[in-house]
Amino acid sequence: MKPLKFSKLSGTGNDFIIIDNREGLMPKKRMPGFVRGVCRRAVSVGADGVIFIENHPELDFSWNFYNSDGGEAEMCGNGARCAARYAFERGIAQKSMRFFTTAGEIEAHITDDKVAKVMLTKAFGYREFKFDSPKGIVEGYFLNTGVPHAIILNENVEDVDVKSTGAMIRHAEEFAPNGANANFVQIINQHELVIRTYERGVEDETLACGTGCVAAALTLAKNGRIQAPASLTVRSGEKLIVDFSPNTPLDGDAWLEGAVHWIYDGVFKDDPGIMR
């Protein structure tokens, strides 16, 4: 493998390795194994996922996005915000841009204070659910915001065993065959939420999940529990803002906004260990 430049960015606690692959330095067939290797924490760079920036014939760029397990994902809200800042600072796009993901076309904007906001594709598949599990009855809401999400309300999310309960929900027959991210949500008031998320593909609790924040805000707005805009405190302690149509939260545009931190730049060298 030739030396390959990369950047490490964090979107409110979700961290990503981003690679400019517009010259095709990394063939797609090698991406899953490469991702599994470099996302391992302590023995490599470590990240929740990897974003490969690619050419697009009409839009500013497209991406190939992989979760840390090497599985390709349809969409990632915080990943999209990180990709937007990366594309702007690398001269790939202007402050306002459009790019293509498997979930559809994404519009994004960068502000002067390094805040990135993206407009996600329309939500779909809303429903209520209730099923028996080894941990008792589980009930909540389902909504797909580019990625499938289960939303479960809790009086205090600090009391939730997110890893074990989240894994059980993620693999529940109710959400087969693709599974769903599990979001545990606490309502503070009509504009504030606290959220913890177990993400499929990472297979653990993450410090933030952008599409999960959007799913939670839209679902609770539909049920009259909160109003736009909604501020969600994620596990990292930072906040994400979700804005949406107050009258038709599931049918209008949904914007996800928050800070993006550029952690560092680096170069991968020919180390077979990271490819395992």
* Positions marked active-site: 76, 209
Count CB neighbours of 255 within 10 A.
18
Give the HSE-up count for residue 147: Cα atoms under 13 Å, Cβ half-sphere.
33
- Residue 33's contacts (CB-CB under 8 Å, 6 or more residues apart) are 70, 275, 276
Distance in angstroms (rounded) separating the CA atoms of residues 220 and 198: 19
Distance in angstroms (rounded) separating the CA atoms of residues 12 and 256: 11
